[in-house]
Structure 1
Amino acid sequence: MSDVLSYIESLLSPSITAALPGAGHSSHQPQQTPGKLWHRCDPTPVVAPQLAIYSQALAQELGLPPGFADDQAFIAWLAGNRSLESSPAFANCYGGHQFGHWAGQLGDGRALTIAELCHAQHRYEWQLKGAGPTPYSRQGDGRAVLRSSIREFLCSEAMHHLGIPTTRALSLVSTGEAVVRDVMYDGNAAAEPGAIVCRLAPSFIRFGHFELLAARQEHDLLKQFLHFVMDREFAALELGHNEQGYAVFFAAVCQRTAQMIVHWQRVGFVHGVMNTDNMSILGLTIDYGPYGWLDNYDPDFTPNTTDAQKRRYRFSQQPAIARWNLICLANALAAIIDDHDIFRDGIALYDTQLSRGLAQMYHDKLGLPPESNTANSPAPIVTSLLQLMTQFEIDHTLFFAALSAPEVTLQNLYPALYDSNAKAALAAWFADYQQLS
């Protein structure tokens, strides 16, 4: 065995498969799996795997040995062409609400967990995305194209370095195989290069895990799963398996979700598909699909072409959708928790943390003095700015980047304007801003 894989094996820790029921035989056959939270599934080997790119920062964080990028056995493992006998791969089972409607069982359709390890007092779950079909692939092939894989790799690492809670990406392996996709959903499918991303997180548990167990009325398993998540994912809180522990747990999930949303709004990130199966119980940005970023400030912007008409997941709606998703989680947990004030209090905490977080975030982006912070709502100077940016389609990123200059002038802000008619209105706002800053 290679030095890198030996190192990986030395850090392995028990996974969900050791604590909770699942299907222990490997299968790729699509199926419903009641009473099971996971299903063993081996990755499907690829023809010609090559390591295309990797995150040096994450590799260092993991303590990977020198030369890991040249270790062919390690690369084969990242491609799904090799497995560790001590860490069999598996797919997670969960459900979810998609675009506001219950979708039933979903699960990891093209992701496989290949290891869980602990290093420097941090736990990392390793997943391969695009490693072939799983029992939850439904009609899909379980593969990923190079185009979307590059997007996930770059964005997840960028989000991390922007200070946003997120899954990470260690590597991108090109497979040497073609994957057929209908990019524009117009019936014109075409072959594209395939790829596999190795992504990491402390946990990939989602709101949808709880929802599916509740929908199936598997209440004993739901309670067992809840206690497992409380004990492992929220160990630092030392939660008891009682009403008080449940209250602290749900409050923590609400708080982390609010913090994540504030970060999204800070950088103009639009997730694009905030279904409950894409909501991390740890408040991490997860599942980079049709995401996008604001160019001109447009509260109604969504990068998801399938959401272009109703725009359910548009930029301005993200805080409300996260709240709706938390209510879905609460409804699932209400099947086993009698004190429903726990959920009302948690949602109220989300509202408070969100409003305070957004107000503080915009206060910081504008560099306003402490006395101008109104705590629970953006200062009037912020409200007027956002109205101005919406009306004249001012570039979100360019504007705030220019505003962060040590000696900002009105002229510094002009490159963010797409409409020259905005100059007079911007000058009036800037005069008010200078009186505060």
Structure 2
Amino acid sequence: MQLHIKDTFNKELPADPIVENTRRQVKNACYSFVTPKHTKKPELLHVSPEMLMELGLTKKDAESNTFLNVFTGNSVLPNTKPYAMCYGGHQFGNWAGQLGDGRAINLAEVEHNNKLWAIQLKGAGETPYSRTADGLAVLRSSIREYLCSEAMHHLGVPTTRALSLALSGDQVLRDMLYNGNAALEKGAIVCRVAPSFLRFGNYQILAAQEDTTTLKTLVDYTIKHHFSHLGAPSKNTYLQFFESVLNSTLKMIIHWQRVGFVHGVMNTDNLSILGLTIDYGPYGWLEGYDNDWTPNTTDSQFKRYRFGAQLDIGHWNLFQLANALYPLIEEADGLESILNSYPKKAKAQYIAMMRTKLGLYTEDDKDEELIINLEKNLQLTETDMTIFFRNLSHFSTKHSQDGLKVIKDAFYILSDVNDTVKTKWNTWFNNYAIRLNKETISAKERQLKMNQTNPKYVLRNYMAQLAIDDANKGDYKLIDELFNLLKKPYDEQPENQKWFVKRPDWARNKVGCSMLSCSS
């Protein structure tokens, strides 16, 4: 197995001078060296062919013992020094101080086809940042991360990727819902891959420690390796860097809203500096369209990270990043100006995104009103988001009175669609037909384009849970079935029509389907 190692993070940035793997506060450093924990009896369950190719590896490589041992933590790649990153963050709006890679260990950086990839194991043992935890991961959460990372990529959503999913062979004690009912579960390890795993919190912790020297070193490193088009470091470059992060963060969240994805825990330590979806914990997919829904049980009271708040939380988190960068700029006006541009950009990009979901490719002054009324209607009765938008492409302007027939499969309880609801929907469809008649493309072309924006298949929570339930019994076939289904989420795939359905009743209140915690 040959990998082109090209480490930069742990060679160009300051390391924690203490090498013992003990819990501690780390100062004047960006990471701590740490070796993955040896696993008892690792077993590879699945490998992403696409990520193998991205790293310059082959299927034969993936079948080797070397691959198994490296990507489950039992072997360290030659001439590499694994490490855990130091970062802080705001959790649920409150500053939490030092956090760091508590159950993630970065193995190395690999260059292939002029791309640099950071390789990281999640669940490979404790680090100096594990606090009171064991640094391990369980099979259920690892399946969710592995499948969703690759599914999001194929949906066109910026994301970290996943290379492999493996059992560790160890048993791990977890209290899944934090209710005192801890139980042993199968341990597992995901190898995840990204150009960088840097988060807002990497910069926040250094600013909080008033370590401007290391902060500047980290920002300059980030610009050099990931924003080199901005040029040499300067106050103006730092402002351009911040604006780039704002733009990529906004783009990512707009994609979340487009496909109905709810991150569930948008703490600042879970926001990528590259605008990638990172840390798949208590995420979820909208079943019934509901702006107030959050999959995170920890957030069930205040719903800070609910679907409808994600754009606003992105803005709040960017404000915290601006505070962290301020010591390098020492002037607030530039940062404030960039931050103040966010609401206008967010509104414009959201409306533009919704236009594509509705098959509208020109602008009209009444589009915002049409979108607002649609969102109100979607919440009149429980209406499946994915099925609604996918089936909407079948709507014909010649039969605008038949709109309800087109979308009826999206309703969970047909009896709830009373006369008042029907009247509101018929009014909306009439206005929608009028608006569509202003478009110049054919109905067939519009349907094709809409079906490349509105996925037919997403990783609904119950689907992931079915794969988890089977895997806990030793059956891993469904992991592979879903992995391949979600490679082509916009294709019809008639052979997989069974997955184009509403959430089943049994999943409505089932743990893992509607109730997820940060250990999920």
Name the TM tier (shorter chain): over 0.9
SS in 2 for 1:209: helix
Note the residue ranges of structure 2 that are not aligned, 5 or more in a row.
Answer: 437-520
- Residue 329 of structure 1 corresponds to 321
Distance 1:407 1:58, change over 3 A: farther
The answer as to 2:429 corresponding to 1:430 is yes
Per the TM alignment, residue 373 of structure 1 is displaced from its structure 2 partner at its CA by 6.4
Identify if the C-alpha distance between structure 1 residues 211 and 128 changes in structure 2 by more than 3 Å, giving closer, same or farther.
same
Are residues 1:388 and 2:377 paired?
yes
User: What is the deviation of 1:428?
Assistant: 2.1
Q: Which residue does the alignment assign to 1:77?
A: 70
Q: What is the CA–CA distance in structure 2 between the aligned matches of 1:183 and 1:320, rounded to whole Å?
A: 29
In the aligned structure 2, how far is the partner of 1:221 from the partner of 1:369? Answer: 47
**In structure 1, what is the equivalent of residue 293 of structure 2?**
301
Give the match's secondary structure for 1:103.
strand
User: Is the 8 Å Cα contact of residues 292 and 307 (structure 2) preserved in structure 1?
Assistant: yes
Please tell me whether the aligned partners of residues 27 and 134 of structure 1 are also in contact (alpha carbons under 8 angstroms): no
Equivalent of residue 306 in structure 2, options 297, 314, 325: 314
Partner of 2:145: 152
Query: In structure 1, what residue type is equivalent to 2:379?
Result: T
Question: Distance between the aligned counterparts of 1:107 and 1:20, measured in 2?
Answer: 16
What is the correspondence of 1:231-270 to structure 2 with a 5 Å cutoff?
231-235=224-228, 237-270=229-262
For 1:67, what is the secondary structure of its paired residue? Answer: helix
Deviation, structure 1 residue 332: 1.1
Deviation (angstroms), 1:354: 1.5
1:206 aligned residue: 199
2:355 to 358, 363, 366: 363
Tell me the SS of whatever aligns to 2:316: helix
Alpha carbon RMSD of aligned pairs, Å?
1.5
- Counterpart of 1:138 in structure 2 is 131
Tell me how far apart the structure 2 counterparts of residues 63 and 19 of structure 1 sit (CA, whole Å): 24
Give every structure 1 segment of 4 or more consecutive aligned residues whose post-TM-superposition deviation is greater than 6 Å: none
CA contact (8 A) 2:106 2:120 kept: yes
Q: Which residue is 1:28 aligned to?
A: 21
Q: Does structure 1 retain, via aligned residues, the 8 Å contact 2:16–2:28?
A: no
Q: Which residue of 2 aligns with 1:399?
A: 388
Does structure 1 conserve the Cα–Cα contact (< 8 Å) formed by 2:55 and 2:111? Answer: no
Percent of pairs identical after alignment?
46
Give a deviation string over 1:225-267, Cα, whole Å, max 9, x none: 11111111111x2322212211211110110011011001111
Indicate conservation of the 8 Å contact 2:150/2:162, yes or no.
Answer: yes
The 3 A distance-change label for structure 1 pair 154 and 381 is: same
Matched, 1:94 2:91: no
Deviations 1:93-142 (A, max 9, x none): 01001111111110000000001011111110000000000010000000
1:420 matched to 2:417? The reply is yes
Q: Does 2:333 align with 1:354?
A: no
TM-score, normalised by the number of residues in structure 1 = 0.94
Work out whether residues 280 and 286 of structure 1, in 8 Å CA contact, stay in contact via their aligned partners in 2: yes
Partner SS state of residue 341, structure 2: helix
1:27 offset after TM fit, Å?
Answer: 3.2
User: 179, 187, 199: which is aligned to 1:186?
Assistant: 179
Q: Structure 1's 213 and 386: CA in aligned 2 closer, same or farther, altered over 3 A?
A: same
Structure 2 CA distance for partners of 1:402 and 1:78, relative to 1, 3 Å: same
Partners of 2:361 and 2:278 lie apart in 1 by: 35
CA distance in 2, matches of 1:125, 1:145: 22
Give the Å deviation of 1:406: 7.4
The worse-fitting range, judged by mean Cα deviation, of 137-146 and 402-411 is 402-411
- Structure number with the bigger relative contact order (C-alpha 8 A, sep ≥ 6) is 2
Which blocks of at least 5 consecutive residues in structure 1 are unaligned? none
Cα 1:432–1:168 shift into 2, 3 Å: same
- The alpha carbon displacement at 1:164 in A equals 0.5
CA contact (8 A) 1:254 1:349 kept: no
User: Any conservation in 2 of the 1:414–1:423 contact (CA below 8 Å)?
Assistant: no
Q: Does the CA contact (< 8 Å) of 2:55 and 2:110 recur in 1?
A: no
Q: Which of 5, 21, 45 is the aligned partner of 1:12?
A: 5
CA contact (8 A) 1:51 1:69 kept: no
**Kept after mapping to 2: 8 A contact 1:153/1:169:** yes
**TM-score normalized by the length of structure 2:** 0.80
Q: Contact between 1:92 and 1:107, CA under 8 Å: does it hold in 2?
A: yes
How far is 1:26 from its partner? 4.2
Partner residue in 1 for 2:516: none
Q: Distance in 2 between matches of 1:311 and 1:78?
A: 36
